[in-house]
Every structure is written in structure tokens, then in C-alpha cells.
Structure 1
Amino acid sequence: MTVAEWCVFGTLMVYLLTIVPVKWIGFRSFNNAKPRDPSFYADPIRARALGAHQNGIESFPFFAVAVLLAEFHAAPQSRINELALLFLIVRIAYVFTYLGDRPRLRSILWNIGFTINIGIFFLPLIRNYLPG
């Protein structure tokens, strides 16, 4: 497996691990029979963890597809790996800014992550213009 493919797995784990600790910590008030009960997420940190989790679910498909298409169309693997690793780092920082209630920085990081995804997606198209 490539570094980029491991980053796809890492990105999946980031969005899963964003919500799991909140449910574990609140195990006395979390009802697994009603996992989407709004009253559990009334607490601000829980609400932010849920938001970060949901955004991770939303951003994951584009990232995974971009990586796989770039690899399928023989874009330079080293560039795919670099951008995928950068995306994973940005996503981790994004989660921390979401949990830390830093909306402006969070939005900046989201835009950086989206731009990285676009870069990965279009790597096959621009591969002939890249150095080395």
C-alpha cells in the first residue's frame, strides 16, 4: 500500500476517533439506542465534536476518490503521497480547532484541505508540467 492509501485510512480513523471519546466520556448519559439524541449533544464540546465528526464524513469521499483516481491515472506517486499526508495533517489540525472553538482558523484549515484535494484530483492532468 502507498503512503497516500494509508492516509485515506488515517483520515477515516480521524473522523471516527473524533466522536468516540465524547461518547465514552459521557457513557452515563449516552444512550446507544438513541445515538443521535440531540439532548446528548447539547453540551458545547459534544456539539463541536459531532460537528467535526460530521464534517469528516462529508470530506472523506472526495479525498478518497481523489487519491484513488490520481493513482489510477498514474500521477506521480511521490506528489500524491505528499499531498495526502499534508491533507491528513490539516484534518487533524482542523479537528483540534473545531474542538477548541476556533471558527476562523477552522475555516482556513477547511479551505486548505479542500485545495489540497483539488490538487490531488488534478495531478494526472498537470503531471507533465511538474518538475522532475
Structure 2
Amino acid sequence: MPWSLLARSEASHLNGLETFPSWSIANLAGDFAKIDHRKLNILSLSFIGLRILYNAIYAKQPTRLHGAIRNFV
């Protein structure tokens, strides 16, 4: 496994750790606001699925140009 892939994988993991507190607070706020549990679960699972997809894309982008494009999208 190339070192650059490991470095990007670690960076995507750290990015996920940065978003976790916001996601947790949003879930708690939705629960306290009495949002329908089914809807809240769908939103939470959607977020988790999109984070997995984001991490896979993040790790597989080999050049700086790809990284720059990712930052603007």
C-alpha cells in the first residue's frame, strides 16, 4: 500500500473526527425537538453512508489537482 494512500486515509479519518461532535449534537437536538424517530434515523444513516463514501473518495484521489477539486465541490 503506498504511503500517500495511508496518509490520505488518515486525513479522511481525522476529518471524520472533526465532524463527529457536530453530528452528535445535531442528533441530540433532533431528539429533543421530538423529530420523528424514523426520519431522524434515516438522516443519521444517510450521513454515515455519505461519510463512508466521502472517505473512500478522499483516500483514492492521487493528485493535488483532485484534492483541489474536492475542496471546491
TM-score with structure 2 setting the length: 0.78
Question: How many angstroms apart in 1 are the aligned matches of 2:14 and 2:35?
Answer: 30
Structure 1, residues 29-54: CA drift from partner, whole Å, max 9, x if none? xxxxxxxxxxxxxx211210111011
Corresponding residue for 1:74?
A: 34
Does the 8 Å contact 1:98/1:106 carry over to 2? no
Structure 1 residue 89 corresponds to structure 2 residue 58: no
Q: Larger Cα Rg: Structure 1 or Structure 2?
A: 1
Q: With a CA cutoff of 8 Å and minimum separation of 6, indicate the structure with the bigger relative contact order.
A: 2
- One-letter code of the match for 2:53? A
Deviation at 1:107, TM superposition (A): 6.2
RMSD of aligned Cα (Å): 2.0
Per the alignment, do residues 84 and 106 of structure 1 end up closer, same or farther by CA in structure 2, a change over 3 Å counting? farther
Task: Give SS of 1:88's match.
Answer: helix
Task: Give SS of 1:75's match.
Answer: coil
Select 1:52's aligned residue among 4, 9, 12.
Answer: 12
Q: Which runs of 5+ in 2 are unaligned?
A: none
Moved over 6 A (4+): none
Select 1:62's aligned residue among 7, 13, 22.
Answer: 22
TM-score with structure 1 setting the length: 0.45
Larger % of helix: which? Answer: 2
Structure 1, residues 80-105: CA drift from partner, whole Å, max 9, x if none? 11111110110000110011115345
Question: How many angstroms apart in 2 are the aligned matches of 1:107 and 1:85?
Answer: 25
Q: Which runs of 5+ in 1 are unaligned?
A: 1-24, 26-42, 109-132
Aligned length: 67
Per the alignment, do residues 107 and 68 of structure 1 end up closer, same or farther by CA in structure 2, a change over 3 Å counting? farther
